[in-house]
Chains A and B, each alone.
Chain A
Amino acid sequence: MPARLAVRDLSKHYGGVQALRGVSLQVDAGEVLGLVGDNGAGKSTLVKTLSGAIAPSGGQILLDGEPVRFSSPAAARDAGVSIVYQDLSLADQRDVAANFFLGREILARHWLARRLGWLDTRAMAAHTRRELARLHTPIPDVHTAARDLSGGQRQALAIARAAAWTSKVLLLDEPTSALGVEQQQQVLELVRRVRDEGIAVIFISHQMPDVLAVCDRAVVLRLGSVAATLGRDQMTGENLVGYITGAKTGGTGNGTPATSASPVGGSPPGTAGQTTGTSHDDERETR
């Protein structure tokens, strides 16, 4: 079975500056892939490429083995690839339910009300409550304004929202920085639950303990290339830091597809995740 998301020899240059030089990696359904690297290593360029925000200069992105080209973040999302940014993804003065359904509001059923764009706020609140409870997010009331949430709750809301609308791949950009210790743990727990639903997660972070805690594998970027792909048993703080800083070199495959690091620990069946995703779609359609 092809990987859920695979990147082959991806490159991106801005004028003469080479931000990505032939990056290859892959992530399976039900797996958390850590993506680490120093500032300027190409992490954000890679993430922007995967999320459809920028177009790559060369190389391929394969979703379930099929080559894809995302013209915009919306296109990527429609294909099943979503991203949660570190900040700026919630409307602060709107409540939890409104944020959960931001841009995907449920309309009332009656055809006339639907024409008017009348919102079914009750259904949205109920659905939000259900989704948040399913992922055990620490948000007590869906009528709370987003700005009254703690940092951890905000991040949990953003992740739960993306997970609810994502069928295949979730990109998390620094989800635990700027959070307290306990809130970090909550977010990591949430990431595990999302993974267990059969979604492929790419976890971008500077926080090595978090990477070690939640990731099944890790890809280290350095100067726009993959410096190392580390399996579970090779993932240690020392190894990660070593490859990030360049003190260590010659990890698994530089430029060549990182197939040698096979997915660890028998990944959960991707089909389960897919059916969940499809049922969401149906629900959205029929409402």
Chain B
Amino acid sequence: MSMTTRGAAVTTEPAAPPGQPPPWWRRSQAAVRDLWIAGVLAAIVAGFSIASPYFLTRANWLNTSDTATEVLLLAVGETFVICTGGIDLSVGATLGLSGTAGAWVMAHGFPAASGAAPLAVTAGIVCALLIGCAIGALNGLLVARADIPPFVVTLGTLGIGTGLAYLLNNGQEISSIPASVAVIGNTNLGGWLPIPVAVTAVITIWCGILLARTRFGAYTLSIGDSREAAVRAGIDDRRHLLKVYLLAGLLAGVAGVLVMARLSAGSPASGANDELNAIAAVVIGGASLFGGKGTILGSVIGTGIIAVLVTGLVIINVPPFWQEVVVGAVLIIAVYFDQLRTRRRNRS
């Protein structure tokens, strides 16, 4: 028992007496980080609310949540990938390709569109999701089996996905799709909750549980933390990495369907550069690009910050080009502060 007390002196949390777990808000670094970044989001929201009477309105909520939905689904998948120490640059392109391909199936797969609308819509959605899975599986196989760096693999599939999306209809939008799709994309439940936002919320909560509370999440974080340790512990790293990239692809496919439904058209340009916002959201949310660290809640808040900045700056009449400047600056500042905190902690 004397050793126990000696060991206690070595740890960096002197506040907690041995045997007594620390209070929940200090239980994990991730929880501390989530609280901190949530404060930043609250401050930004407060600032815009004071600056403009139009910020806290239903119209702006719908607008902001639309923007957030598109990025959030990508960011959620990206969180898993980044937690394994990888990166997926292809999710934006996957969104565009799956939406366009889904629309193509709806428009061309069923000539007698009048009678077969529900079937055409179903087939289109399934096709979009399958394409998301296919690109995710390709990424996963190349990363896990062929050992090609994720940056290279997904940069490649980013190009392939974008190219194929434009090839599909000579670069044109596909808008001759059943009207019921637009209904899915543009119905607001209770006037405040668009269906895409509801779908995204459900998926996000499920993924939050998946990352934080299940074996899948534990493997994801462990592989990103130390792949060697995970392998030595008997975890099948290749199989798991495949699943993680597959999940990111699937979620990009879902995002593709939702964006197509909102626009009621399949546009090959949709999703372009979304991967950068998604990655920024995940990193602002506290995930480490070196892997082993990240939460879905963090990524949700990170996405919130980006979406609020995008719509808020428009409302206070800042030229739209400033959005990207501000988002970029926020990204760098967030990571810098994170490093400061980590360094201070390690020194103590």
- CB-CB under 8 A from A137, the residues of chain B are 3
Docked-complex contact B218 and A104, CB < 8 angstroms: no
A139 neighbours in B (Cβ, 8 Å): 7
Knowing A93-B225, A105-B218, A143-B21, the reply to whether A136 touches B232 (Cβ < 8 A) is no
Q: B12: which A residues are within 8 A, CB to CB?
A: 148
Residue of A nearest to B218 (CB): A105
Interchain CB contact under 8 A, A145 and B230: no
Interchain nearest-CB distance for B226 vs A (Å): 5
A207 CB, nearest partner CB in chain B, Å: 21
| Complex CA–CA separation, A183 to B10 (angstroms) | 12
Confirm or deny: A71 has a beta carbon within 8 angstroms of a beta carbon on chain B.
no
Q: Is the CB of B230 within 8 A of A143?
A: no
B225 to chain A, nearest CB (A): 4
Complex CA gap A72/B104 in Å reads 48
- Provide the bound-state CA to CA distance between A98 and B30, in Å: 15
Give A77 to B218 CA distance when docked, in angstroms: 21
Task: Select from chain A the residue with minimum beta-carbon distance to B221.
Answer: A94
Interface pair A102/B233, CB less than 8 Å apart: yes
CB neighbours (8 Å) of B10 from chain A are 149-150, 153
Assess whether A235 is interfacial by the CB under 8 Å rule: no
Annotate B18-44 by CB proximity to A: 1 below 8 A, 0 otherwise: 110110000111000000000000000
Question: Which single residue of chain B is at the shortest CB-CB distance from A88?
Answer: B228
Q: A92-B225, A117-B216, A119-B218 are in contact. Are A136 and B3 (CB under 8 A)?
A: yes
Complexed CA–CA distance, A117 and B19 (Å): 28
Q: Judging by beta carbons under 8 Å apart, are A93 and B221 in contact?
A: yes
Q: B343: CB under 8 A from chain A? A: no
Contacts of B7 in A (CB 8 A): 138-140, 150, 153
Chain A 119-137 interface 0/1 with B at a Cβ cutoff of 8 Å (1 = within)? 1010000000000000011
Q: Are B11 and A148 in touch, CB under 8 angstroms?
A: yes
Residues 57-96 of chain A, each 1 if its beta carbon lies under 8 Å from chain B, else 0: 0000000000000000110010000000100111111110
- A141 interface contact, C-beta 8 A: yes
Q: Residue B51 at the A interface, CB < 8 A?
A: no
Report how far A139 CA is from B18 CA in the complex, Å: 9
Residues of A contacting B5 in the complex (Cβ-Cβ under 8 angstroms): 140
- Residues B6 and A138 in contact, CB atoms below 8 Å apart: yes
B220 CB to nearest A CB, Å? 11
* Cross-chain pair count, CB within 8 angstroms: 104
Known: A73-B232, A103-B230, A118-B213. A91 touches B11 (CB 8 A): no
A93 and B233: CB pair below 8 A? no
The one of A73, A93, A107, A186 that contacts B215, using a Cβ cutoff of 8 Å:
A107
A112 at interface, CB cutoff 8 A: no
Bound CA span A144–B11, Å? 8
Contact B232 A89 (CB under 8 A): yes
A98 to B235, CA, bound (A): 13
Closest residue of chain B to A129 (Cβ to Cβ) is B19
> Taking CB as reference atom, which chain A residue is nearest B232?
A89
A1 at the interface (CB under 8 A from B): no
A116 within 8 A of B: yes
Q: How far in angstroms is the closest Cβ of chain A from B298?
A: 14
Docked-complex contact A92 and B214, CB < 8 angstroms: no
Give the Cβ gap from B275 to chain A, nearest Cβ, in Å: 25
B3 touches A138 (CB 8 A): yes
Check B19 against A140 for contact (C-beta < 8 Å). Answer: yes
Q: How far is the CB of A164 from chain B (nearest CB, A)?
A: 13
A119 and B215 in contact, given A94-B221, A138-B6 (Cβ under 8 angstroms): yes
Set B21, B213, B292: member contacting A119, Cβ < 8 A: B213
Which residues of chain A are near B8, meaning CB under 8 Å?
140-141
A16 to B213, CA, bound (A): 51
Q: Which residues of B contact A91 (CB under 8 A)?
A: 221-222, 225-226, 229-230, 292
A73 to chain B, nearest CB (A): 7
27 intermolecular pairs with C-beta atoms under 8 Å apart:
A88-B232, A89-B229, A90-B226, A90-B229, A91-B221, A91-B229, A91-B292, A92-B292, A93-B221, A93-B225, A103-B233, A103-B234, A116-B209, A116-B210, A116-B214, A119-B213, A136-B3, A140-B4, A140-B5, A141-B8, A143-B22, A143-B27, A144-B13, A148-B11, A149-B10, A150-B7, A153-B7
